[in-house]
Amino acid sequence: MSFPTPEDRTVVGPDGAVISYTVSGPEGALPVVVHHGTPGSASPSREWLRSTAEHGLRLVTYERGGYGGSSRRPGRRVVDCAGDVVALLDAIGAEVCLTYGRSGGGPHALATAALLPERVLAAASVAGVAPFGGPGMSREEWLAGMGEDNVEEFDAALAGEDVLRPWLEAQRPAMLSLDQDAVTAAMHSLLPQVDLAVFTGEFAEDTLRSFARALAPGVDGWLDDDLEFTRDWGFDLTSIEPPVALWQGSADLMVPFAHGQWLADHVSGAEVHLVEGEGHWSIPVAGPDGVLAGLLRLAGR
């Protein structure tokens, strides 16, 4: 089916920083606010554009500080995204929303639900990381099961910006290349067969386009994401009032299955989908059994 062309916009956040975002879909429709992965950008996938159009929803994708066209905000914490979402919703004239985050976007979707219970009808975290240093999430437990590239990346993050920045800058050229083989080679330790199988065609093109937009200005956004994941997130997971769905695949090498199990044990009342054999990218957004349909059901829509 056809879908609306996303419109690029900017809004000034509560701290004066510029937030770059895209919006598509009918005015006045219920928006889905998407928190991108790490790295990632506001460039929406065609899967999301089609799926929201099928349901008559509005799609809002935005860039965290330092990615794409959004101002860098050194020292940002996961919780800070809630103020960004308020600015986005106010800018498009929406009172309430659904929110979703995959991978590095997962904690931000949970933060949005925790801080904005009056504006979030339901939230979904897909393959989202668990808080570093929480009970049962020591360094060794948090890294266990990650592919070698992610272990190196987060060890660098734990060592600080002076170590992490050159590591990320060394990865950046491949991630900017729009060359599927180059990106696959750069992420070889993170891609089980189930994720390699979906990293083709439209999905690969959209993912590469998102990486390129994210990292065009440099690695600041990626760096600040990694640093914030290893710090206190700034909110209490047990305080989330809106309904939450948690999705995690057992074959995930980017965010290990144990992270999803930990979140399932610590996010009160969550609807939990611990899916055998799925990877980081293979859990579907679309379809009757996909994440979006589940979000709408949780929201009573």
pLDDT digits (tens, 9 = 90+) for 261-284: 999 999 989 999 999 999 999 999
pLDDT surpasses 70 at 256: yes
Whether 2 is in a domain gets the answer no
CATH code, 150: 3.40.50.1820
Whether 281 is in a domain gets the answer yes
Number of independent structural domains in the chain:
1
Mean of all residue pLDDT scores within the chain: 96
Whether 1 is in a domain gets the answer no
pLDDT surpasses 80 at 1: no
Q: Please tell me the predicted confidence (pLDDT) of residue 182.
A: 86
Whether 287 is in a domain gets the answer yes
Whether 222 is in a domain gets the answer yes
What is the per-residue DSSP string for the chain?
Answer: ---PPPEEEEEE-TTS-EEEEEEES-TTSPEEEEEP-SS--S---HHHHHHHHHTT-EEEEE--TTSTTSPP-TT--GGGHHHHHHHHHHHHT-S-EEEEEEGGGHHHHHHHHHH-TTTEEEEEEESPPPPTTSTT--HHHHHTT--HHHHHHHHHHHH-HHHHHHHHHHHHHHHHS--HHHHHHHTGGG--HHHHHHSSHHHHHHHHHHHHHHHTT-SHHHHHHHHHHTS--SS-GGG--S-EEEEEETT-SSS-HHHHHHHHHHSTT-EEEEETT--SS-S-SSSTTSHHHHHHHHTT-
pLDDT digits (tens, 9 = 90+) for 135-193: 899 999 999 999 999 999 999 999 999 999 999 999 999 999 888 988 898 898 999 99
Q: Please tell me the predicted confidence (pLDDT) of residue 159.
A: 96
Question: What is the domain range of residue 153?
Answer: 7-298
